[in-house]
């Protein structure tokens, strides 16, 4: 899939901003006003818009915007799993935050008899754009974060290995369906990067992608739910261990931290590609193309252009759509400036 890509391809992390009507449609659906066909049509339309916005901006590798993964109403991935009971959020009022999300507890070994829905997502998106597609999937450690082990599992890592088996099957099904680029999202690695943990994360990741014959990316960030991070904003504890993951590309956020820690990429030499976050999804200041170009030039001080992809820091699901559109355009236009400097085109 990479053969026709330009130098310094642009891409996204995964989720995309919701159109206004999707909020009201989901509220209506929650009140019982939508049947399954209404819901399917709504979600298809939402995917169409996400693809269209990315294509309009001229992004080189896009996703379906994760528009079907819309929070508790569709229960995200957990709705596909058996062996779980839902636990209500511990806090229900006041400022929005991570602690207002529902959790789960394992009451039986967790399984996903019909898969996680990613194949269906891809199959629809593939018919709606000719642009190369990447399929993002939450990683097992992040997904395990909302599942209490109960009496079934020993701890969170134990839950994560059960999920890694489910994810591994899903990823192989994606490859079977024609997917050539898969990205696992593991914001929780940086949150829990205490001593010994990064080595365990590598083992877990490699289990999840074992035998998956596609280009593999790993997205690491500091959390983005309601635009709030949940970790110290440093990748350092993960290095150099994280370079042992069986991934071709690491997708890291930099823009939000004014490009801090880029030097890690120089300090720990790696053959891996770097997908560098050069647009801040948590900031309503819309970068100019010149801002983006400046950030890219800094990335190129630590990584060769042939190994660099440019992305926003994280998904756009927590960013207003008008800002997301403007930021995608700035990403593409800023990249064009630097591409022209490098290639003279």
Site residues, Zn ion (CB under 5 A): 221, 314
Parallel/antiparallel/unpaired status of strands 82-87 and 103-111: antiparallel
Nearest to 224 by CA among 233, 211, 213, 237: 233
Identify which of residues 100 and 318 has a Cβ nearer to Zn ion in the complex. 318
C-alpha distances out from residue 302 to 217, 238, 273, 344, Å: 19, 18, 12, 21
- CA angle 284-275-197, nearest 5°? 100
Identify which of residues 43 and 224 has a Cβ nearer to Zn ion in the complex. 224
What is the Cα–Cα distance from 273 to 143, expressed in whole angstroms?
A: 25
Question: What minimum distance in Å lies between the beta carbon of 170 and Zn ion?
Answer: 20
Question: What minimum distance in Å lies between the beta carbon of 274 and Zn ion?
Answer: 15
Question: What minimum distance in Å lies between the beta carbon of 222 and Zn ion?
Answer: 8
Identify which of residues 135 and 162 has a Cβ nearer to Zn ion in the complex. 135
Q: Widest CA span of the chain, in angstroms?
A: 62
Question: What minimum distance in Å lies between the beta carbon of 66 and Zn ion?
Answer: 12
Residues in the chain: 345
Nearest to 337 by CA among 294, 274, 279, 304: 294
Identify which of residues 134 and 339 has a Cβ nearer to Zn ion in the complex. 134
- CA angle 124-125-130, nearest 5°? 130
Question: What minimum distance in Å lies between the beta carbon of 289 and Zn ion?
Answer: 23
DSSP string, 237-249: GGTTGGGGSS-SE
Identify which of residues 9 and 14 has a Cβ nearer to Zn ion in the complex. 14
Identify which of residues 43 and 256 has a Cβ nearer to Zn ion in the complex. 256
Question: What minimum distance in Å lies between the beta carbon of 226 and Zn ion?
Answer: 13
C-alpha distances out from residue 191 to 93, 194, 222, 229, 283, Å: 25, 9, 7, 9, 21
Question: What minimum distance in Å lies between the beta carbon of 223 and Zn ion?
Answer: 7
Identify which of residues 43 and 188 has a Cβ nearer to Zn ion in the complex. 188
C-alpha distances out from residue 38 to 34, 124, 188, 255, Å: 6, 16, 35, 39
Nearest to 251 by CA among 274, 227, 223: 274
Identify which of residues 221 and 255 has a Cβ nearer to Zn ion in the complex. 221
Question: What minimum distance in Å lies between the beta carbon of 133 and Zn ion?
Answer: 19
Q: How far apart are the first and last CA of the chain?
A: 22
């Amino acid at each position: 899939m990479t053969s026709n890509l330009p130098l310094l391809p642009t891409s996204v992390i995964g989720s995309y901003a919701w159109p206004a009507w999707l909020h009201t449609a989901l509220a209506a659906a929650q009140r019982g006003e939508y049947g399954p066909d209404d819901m399917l049509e709504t979600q298809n339309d939402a995917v169409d818009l996400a693809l269209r916005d990315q294509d309009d901006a001229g992004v080189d590798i896009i996703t379906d915007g994760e528009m079907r993964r819309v929070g508790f109403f569709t229960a995200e991935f957990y709705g596909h799993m058996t062996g779980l009971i839902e636990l209500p959020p511990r806090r229900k009022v006041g400022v929005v935050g991570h602690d207002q999300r529902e959790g789960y507890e394992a009451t039986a070994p967790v399984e996903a008899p019909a898969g996680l829905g990613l194949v269906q997502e891809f199959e629809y998106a593939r018919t709606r754009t000719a642009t190369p597609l990447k399929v993002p999937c939450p990683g097992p450690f992040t997904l395990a974060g909302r599942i209490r082990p109960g009496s079934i599992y020993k701890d969170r890592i134990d839950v994560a290995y059960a999920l890694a088996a489910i994810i591994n099957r899903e990823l192989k099904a994606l490859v079977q369906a024609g997917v050539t680029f898969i990205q696992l999202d593991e914001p929780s690695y940086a949150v829990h990067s205490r001593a010994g943990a990064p080595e365990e994360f590598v083992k877990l990741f490699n289990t999840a992608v074992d035998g998956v014959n596609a280009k593999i990316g790993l997205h690491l960030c500091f959390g983005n739910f309601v635009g709030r991070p949940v970790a110290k904003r440093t990748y350092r504890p993960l290095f150099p261990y994280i370079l042992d993951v069986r991934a071709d590309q690491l997708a890291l956020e930099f823009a939000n931290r004014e490009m801090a820690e880029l030097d890690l990429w120089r300090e720990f030499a790696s053959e891996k590609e770097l997908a560098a976050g050069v647009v801040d999804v948590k900031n309503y200041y819309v970068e100019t193309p010149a801002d983006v170009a400046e950030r890219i030039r800094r990335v190129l001080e630590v990584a060769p252009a042939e190994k660099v992809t440019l992305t926003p820091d994280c998904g756009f699901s927590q960013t207003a759509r008008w800002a997301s559109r403007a930021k995608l355009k700035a990403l593409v236009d800023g990249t064009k400036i630097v591409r022209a400097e490098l290639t003279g085109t």
